[in-house]
């Protein structure tokens, strides 16, 4: 696959993230549509990762708050 120069930023393949080599050949016919597809997939991955990170942190916070009231309730029940 031959990418346009602006598509392989930092020498990384837009589809797999692997390294690329500079060639004097013209870009492949399907370079533009594949670049758009790879860009959309990367954006979706970033959004999914951000969503997962947000809810993982939220669940940890919620779990931490759920444990604290249980401890204080059981301490009052023992008469402490």
30-67: pLDDT as tens digits: 889 999 999 999 899 999 999 999 988 888 888 776 65
**pLDDT score at 77:** 56
Closest CA to 15 of 56, 71, 5, 36: 36
Do the beta carbons of residue 57 and residue 65 sit within 8 Å?
no
- Alpha-carbon span 42 to 48, nearest angstrom: 10
pLDDT at 3 over 80: no
Q: What is the DSSP letter of 30?
A: T
β-pair partners for 12: 19
pLDDT at 70 over 60: no
- pTM flag (> 0.75): no
**pLDDT score at 26:** 85
């Amino acid at each position: 696959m031959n990418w346009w120069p602006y598509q392989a930023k930092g020498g990384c393949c837009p589809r797999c993230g692997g390294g690329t080599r500079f060639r004097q050949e013209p870009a492949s016919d399907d370079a533009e549509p594949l670049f758009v597809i790879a860009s959309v997939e990367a954006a979706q991955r970033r959004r999914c990762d951000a969503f997962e990170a947000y809810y993982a942190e939220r669940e940890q916070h919620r779990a931490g708050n759920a444990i604290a009231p249980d401890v204080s309730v059981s301490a009052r029940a023992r008469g402490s």
